[in-house]
Structure 1
Amino acid sequence: MKITVKLFASFRDGRFKVEERDTPAGTVCRQVVLELGLKEEELGVVMVNGRHAPLEQELQDGDSLALFPLVGGG
């Protein structure tokens, strides 16, 4: 199945902004995060199709997965 992965802020460093990926049926958000070499503790927001999603959410064909890092500062 095809999904679109969107990375934001520091997650783009050395990676990409938007990428279409072929993933097997039954893939969950956590698997994509780990394949990208991201650490779960770095994640701030995970969204699927514009809605907050848990890392355990199973992705469907055509889904859009957006990953945002934790943001600090003030």
Structure 2
Amino acid sequence: MREDVRVEVRVFATLRRYLPDLGIGEARVMDVPDGTTLDEIREILGLPAEEVKVIMVNHLQAAPQDPGADGDRITYIPAVAGG
């Protein structure tokens, strides 16, 4: 049996609509089984894969297949456009 790890998740810009209970700058703290990948955490949160362009863990870019670890600060960032 895998132990749970606690991670802190933030989303920005257009991804905020999928987590409307979070205010600007707020994070969701969640417990997930040890070894759960960043992509699996994204799925749990209901964030569409095609809208997530960058994943950061503890201020460093990460890959979707990387596992989350206890205490990680995970940020999902969408593509942004401007002019």
How does the TM-score come out when normalised to structure 2?
A: 0.81
Q: Which of the pair has more CA radius of gyration?
A: 2
Rate the CA distance shift 1:59–1:19 in 2: closer, same or farther, 3 A: same
Pick the aligned partner of 1:3 from 2, 7, 12.
7
Asked if structure 1 preserves the Cα contact closer than 8 Å seen for 2:37 and 2:64, the reply is: yes
Q: 1:5-62, CA deviations, whole angstroms, 9 ceiling, x for partnerless residues?
A: 0111111125123110001011110001111111111112100010000000111100
Partners of 2:73 and 2:49 in 1: CA distance: 19
Asked if structure 2 preserves the Cα contact closer than 8 Å seen for 1:44 and 1:71, the reply is: no
SS of aligned partner of 1:23: strand
1:67: Cα distance to partner? Answer: 0.6
Pick the aligned partner of 1:33 from 24, 30, 42.
42
Gaps in structure 1 of 5+ consecutive residues: none
Q: Which portions of structure 1, spanning 4 or more consecutive aligned residues, are displaced by more than 4 angstroms? A: none
Other-structure match for 1:57: 66
Partners of 1:4 and 1:34 in 2: CA distance: 15
Percent identity over paired residues: 34
How does the TM-score come out when normalised to structure 1?
A: 0.90
